[in-house]
Amino acid sequence: MIVNEFIPKPYTQLLDRGAVAYSAPSNIALVKYWGKKAHQIPANPSISFTLNNCKTATSLRFEKKTSKGFSFEVFLDGKLQDDFKPKIEQFFSRIEVYVPFLSSYHFVIETSNTFPHSSGIASSASGMSALALCLMKIEQQLNPEISQAFFNKKASFLARLGSGSACRSIEGNLIVWGTHANIEGSSDLVGIKYPYEVHHKFKNYRDTILLVDKGEKQVSSTVGHNLMHDHPFAEQRFAQAHSNMEALIPVLESGDLKAFISIVEQEALTLHAMMMSSNPYFILMKPNTLEIINKLWAFRAKTGLHVCFTLDAGANVHVLFPDNEADEVQKFIATELAEHCQNGHYIEDKLGLGAEPIKI
Ligand code: DP6
């Protein structure tokens, strides 16, 4: 599948060497992407909050070379990271048709995360979007007339080919990816800014990430998405994602937080229910994940506060709450939930505005 819109015209400038850098945030899905078709096409639409503090900063130095094929080195926090190479090699081969200069340069990729690498937080969304943005920055230098709108659109398109959820990490602060009949402009190819009205209650919405298990992912995302092929409940799940997206539209507009909570928590538990009922099956929650959920539900029942949780494909818990309830919820997290985190570790984050260039 070739998408002509993203194949560049012949470059008007030539560069022998240079350096670019970008910082890109992580994101947390409210309606989950789980299951995909060929060419990184999602099986259902998803929507996410762009985060503010959990970010990857990546710089890319490039220098002209004459040898054939891709040539790059990758460093994490200044240390050579050869185990990142296969994923980047795969990314480069998927996008070469759209970024034809890839084989003309040797690249030195230096990357670092604001969150600990071993935190169990997926760095593929922020990492792949930062790398895609660096490549777009080079393309912009070779073809200076490209618009900012096209820059972001193609960055999202490229990032998706690195990791699906990465296409939701270019802009802020509510991003839709995947075609939905009721969301104008939605696309399987790129993430778009949510196009409708959003109530002020969602402004600066908080996400505190409770690090229950900092270990390596038990199930890689590729294996995980593949579990949806031939899954007995796949079709119902994809239909549910469509209807949850639709249900969110009036909820985001009216600021009905009770309805918001019920959609978000159902999505999180359905994601895990899919994993528990696939072949092979997995339980990615840990006892502490359930302790946290039960305490959070009891706290919500007692206080009437609008705190809820969501989960990724792992044991960590994202605690979501509105800005004006932050004092009480943060106190509750520190006194009641932190004890269920590995080494008491959690990260306070909130809605963010998207990626930013870094001066280099
Ligand atoms: C559970 O984007 O990591 O976080 O496209 O294979 O790289 P690949 O998958 P990835 O999957 C993320 C799945 C999720 C839900 C979501 O972010 O929507």
Q: What is the pTM of this model?
A: 0.97
Q: Atom of ligand 1 at shortest distance to CA of 46?
A: 18
d(Cα 317, Cα 143) in Å, to the nearest integer?
A: 43
d(Cα 272, Cα 284) in Å, to the nearest integer?
A: 7
Please say whether the beta carbons of 3 and 189 come within 8 A: yes
DSSP string, 233-246: THHHHHHHHHHHHH
Q: Atom of ligand 1 at shortest distance to CA of 160?
A: 5
**90: CA distance to ligand 1 center in Å?**
17
Among 221, 312, 317, which is best to mutate for testing ligand 1, by the most ligand atoms less than 8 A from CB?
221
| pLDDT < 70 stretches in the chain | 118-120, 122
> Which of 48, 284, 274 lies closest to 159 in space, CA to CA?
48
Which pLDDT does position 122 carry in this prediction?
67
Runs of H (alpha helix) within 122-173: 124-142, 148-162
> Which of 316, 296, 315 lies closest to 306 in space, CA to CA?
296
Which pLDDT does position 20 carry in this prediction?
98
Which pLDDT does position 121 carry in this prediction?
75
Q: Atom of ligand 1 at shortest distance to CA of 271?
A: 1
Residue whose CA lies nearest to ligand 1 atom number 12: 165
Residue whose CA lies nearest to ligand 1 atom number 4: 312
d(Cα 80, Cα 227) in Å, to the nearest integer?
A: 33
**272: CA distance to ligand 1 center in Å?**
13
**164: CA distance to ligand 1 center in Å?**
6
Please say whether the beta carbons of 29 and 46 come within 8 A: yes
**328: CA distance to ligand 1 center in Å?**
31
d(Cα 23, Cα 355) in Å, to the nearest integer?
A: 6
Who lines ligand 1 at CB under 6 A? 29, 32-34, 40, 46, 122, 124, 163-165, 221-222, 225, 271, 312-313
Q: Atom of ligand 1 at shortest distance to CA of 162?
A: 7
Burial 199-234 (b: 16+ CB within 10 A, else e): eebbeebbbbbbbbbbeebbbebeebbebbeebeeb
d(Cα 312, Cα 328) in Å, to the nearest integer?
A: 25
CA-to-CA dists, residue 287 to 37, 188, 316, 317, 343, angstroms: 33, 36, 11, 12, 15
**42: CA distance to ligand 1 center in Å?**
10
Q: Atom of ligand 1 at shortest distance to CA of 40?
A: 5
